[in-house]
Structure 1
């Protein structure tokens, strides 16, 4: 399908607008969580506002990808956007935590559909050569949302009430829906075989059990429950693989992993989930405790990381679309991020704050160099009729990596800090503000504990990115095709690596 330059610009503007709306929903809620839980009288259930959203966004990804291939990405995109608006209304109207959690499940499902279909639509209407540039522009929505969301959420909660954190989506969502109806071209689906119900059920059970297990492993009294959930997850995963190898139209096509391009690209996607999101999640706490700063100042480090990621994603997307080369950017990015995290593991205490800011900006530059690019690469390695499924698989692996990686690293940090704190210090009430009010010797000790705990974490994440270098090297050398998907045979992958 070939679009005129004007139609392509309209499409890009529509997808970028909706992607930003969906990405903002990930980040804007964080600063209002305490207020929401307090007003609904459910402080003990506060985490479920995030967990429900994340679970829904994870487990429905393969289903959304299959629907895109069957019904066409346009229908799934418009349906997801309409559901997102309705779910946002329901979230704001919630009278208790149960109602809010149910609405957040619908919001997580619809947000996943928005993000996934944006990438799938781009793959459907453009050539492999064009995709890195366009996907990097759409992908810019997420780092911008990371920067804007928490601040905007705090302002809205303080001045208008937490309900408007959700209701703000409604007017923008309605306008975006009208824009999308006009801008997104009709995209045909493909008749599929019988739906893999057994694969879907076992997969969902495995992922939900795994996420709940790693979320509860650090909670007092839930260790036994977490072990049981891990066992259920493992058993479900085994059953899932057995089923997927036997059905004609599997829920998650495992044959993708036989292709070196797809396997290496999905491995890189997992590394982004494990590495980047874990670092961004815990970096503010590390900076507050180890560098003795306020929460506001500690936010400068993840901002530097995200800004580096944003700039490098846009630059490498443009360069890759211009030249067709992709492997060099993945090797460069994983190498730079590995070096940055290794430096973080070696930084001595007492350095000025601009030092970790510069180093983490380097990590962001490395990650951004291949973050959107790997999606374009895996899309080009499969038939057009499977674009939705392979995009969903890459997104799923990234999401699971982020969820599990963040939970594991959180448990390591919690256990390490608890073991290193001096006797008599109440760890349950130790906040950055409390720490700054202690004696100079105790502050130095706490800073040293956090430094000692986080250095091995940074080293471990550097090792994860080092594995990414191997995956990047395994990507076939070549160039992305500049032929549109429609001109290719649907029985073959869209582009085989071309000789450089």
Structure 2
């Protein structure tokens, strides 16, 4: 749907503000976790402040994508933003942990709409050729939020108190809501068929059970196994339901298209190959390189900066030239080489060397992080844009969630098995290691190197699979065509 230049600039500003608000919320809150849980008397359940939000956001993606196609993305987007603002206020007023978790779950559900519908609205208001640079701008909110979120969260918590890490969303959100109400156009609805309620009712418990399974299995016991069985049964029921649905919530039929299936696989690389390891990088460098917590944060920062630069650059170049295949191909090669190098780097090197290596991984990942969403959108019928966008994001998010849990389990078991007698893995901290005699420090550094090396190698192999998927991605150019996109095999890719 073509818009005037002024209104389109307002639209991009509005979507960027909203995307940044959603991305910043989680990174700001992480700094205040210990304070919030401690004051509410629930330190042992602290992780659920993040897990509840992330899980709710993940499982609602396909539902909101389908609703956006049926009732129009504008209504779902504005409703999600309004609910996000109200739930943020409710989080700040929480007087017990149950209230906070319920409010965070609602906040996470609405945040899925902010992320997903921003991408859908861009797809509906631009040509395929214009789409990459604007999706790159919207996608830049995530790495910027990673960079400034923890610092901002610490400043707000120390200066104003923890409720303000939630309340600060309200004034920014109200401004964004007013701007969005003006800028977001009334877009045509897609399919008018009945909403796939059975699909939603089988997919949601399947995703919840899968996340719980990968979280609990490393801890031992039967709970994780039971959750895995439930996930398997629910996924089987979901596939059967979707094969019979007139307008399925996850459009499996469209994935007969090679662009869509290879593009979705490439998108998953971002979650599995990079997002999963970034949470553990500070621990690795504090233990293996014996750095302080502050210094260890430089490596993720270098990674994110590389991601930010290449995300914006690849989006601009793809829109300028119409060519897209070279970016995921080169990006996955860089990611594989960088993580392969991390697997063989000896500990004790100057910190700038692993920083440079991980910056290369970030550069490679950013080259296709937002672009591949635009490519997949361009290969889908316009009436299914929301569902396809939701599926791509869901695969990425689930890949990140599962891989993060698996990596955490590998690290925990590997370190615990190799620690010398007298050191308890449950209470081992960087401060204890740094205060130990030098031979003990060196031994623990070697343990962490040996445990992380196969993790880095496995992630390099994931990127290598991404190289294969990128090679199989059909060559073509993004079209400058405007107007409705026909439901053809590869509708918007000109040869």
For residues 25 and 217 of structure 1, do their structure 2 counterparts lie closer, same or farther at Cα, with a shift above 3 Å needed? same
Q: Does 1:337 align with 2:335?
A: yes
1:241 alignment partner in structure 2: 239
Distance in 2 separating the partners of 1:491 and 1:233: 33
Aligned length: 495
Q: Distance in 2 between matches of 1:480 and 1:317?
A: 12
Q: Which residue of 1 aligns with 2:252?
A: 254
Please give the alpha-carbon distance, in whole angstroms, between the structure 2 residues aligned to 1:256 and 1:146. Answer: 34
2:488 match:
492
Which of 275, 280, 283 does residue 282 from structure 1 map onto?
280
**Alpha-carbon shift at residue 218 of structure 1 (Å):** 3.0
SS of aligned partner of 1:349: coil
Counterpart Cα distance in 2 of 1:494 and 1:73: 23
> Which of 306, 309, 312 is the matching residue for 1:311?
309
Secondary structure at the aligned position of 1:218 is classed as: helix
Partner residue of 1:25?
25
- For 1:228, the equivalent position in structure 2 comes to 226
1:23 positional shift:
0.4
1:436 match: 434
Q: Secondary structure at the match of 2:164?
A: helix
Q: Greater CA deviation, 349-358 or 237-246? A: 237-246
Distance 1:466 1:30, change over 3 A: same
CA distance in 1, matches of 2:494, 2:188: 28
Cross-structure match for 1:162: 162
TM-score (norm 1): 0.97
Q: How many angstroms apart in 2 are the aligned matches of 1:108 and 1:136? A: 23
- Aligned position for 1:94: 94
1:111-162 Cα distance to aligned partner (Å, 9 max, x none): 1100111100000010000000000011000000000111111111111111
Structure 2 counterpart of 1:291: 289
1:320 alignment counterpart? 318
Cα shift at 1:202: 1.3
**Secondary structure of 1:223's partner?**
coil
- Work out the CA distance in 1 between the residues paired with 2:308 and 2:22: 17
Q: Deviations over 1:430-470 (max 9, x none)?
A: 11111100000000001010000000000000000000011
Provide the residue aligned with 2:388 in structure 1: 390
CA distance, structure 2, for counterparts of residue 489 and residue 277 of structure 1: 33
CA RMSD of the aligned region, Å?
1.1
1:208 aligns with 2:218: no
Residues 332-363 of structure 1: per-residue CA shift (max 9 Å, x gap): 00001100000000101210000000000000
CA contact (8 A) 1:481 1:495 kept: no
Q: How far is 1:248 from its partner?
A: 1.2
Specify the SS of the correspondent of 1:351: coil
Q: Structure 2 regions of 5+ residues with no counterpart? A: none
- Secondary structure of 2:279's counterpart equals helix
Q: Deviations over 1:167-194 (max 9, x none)?
A: 0000000011011111111112134222
Matches within 5 A, 1:105-116: 105-116=105-116
User: Cα distance, 1:250 vs. partner?
Assistant: 1.2
On the 8 A contact 1:267/1:468 being kept in 2, the answer is yes
2:345 aligned residue: 347
State the distance in 1 between where 2:138 and 2:209 align: 32
Deviations 1:26-77 (A, max 9, x none): 2111111111111000111111111111111011101100111011111111
State the partner residue of 2:151: 151
3-state secondary structure, aligned to 1:429: coil
Structure 1 equivalent of residue 420 of structure 2: 422
* Between 454-463 and 237-246, the greater mean CA deviation after superposition: 237-246
Which residue of 2 is the match for residue 55 of structure 1? Answer: 55
Rounded Cα–Cα distance in structure 1 between residues aligned with 2:489 and 2:14? 28
- Is contact 1:74-1:185 (8 Å) kept? yes
Runs of 4+ in 1 over 6 A off after TM superposition: none
Query: Counterpart in 1 of 2:120?
Result: 120
Asked if 1 retains the 8 angstrom alpha-carbon contact of 2:68 and 2:117, the reply is yes
CA distance in 2, matches of 1:348, 1:191: 56
- Deviation digits for residues 303-353 of structure 1, max 9, x if unmatched? 000000000000010000000000011100000110000000010121000
Q: Is contact 2:485–2:491 with CA below 8 Å preserved after alignment?
A: no
- Find the aligned partners of 2:439 and 2:305 in 1 and give their Cα distance: 35
Measure, in 1, the Cα distance between the counterparts of 2:234 and 2:334. Answer: 37
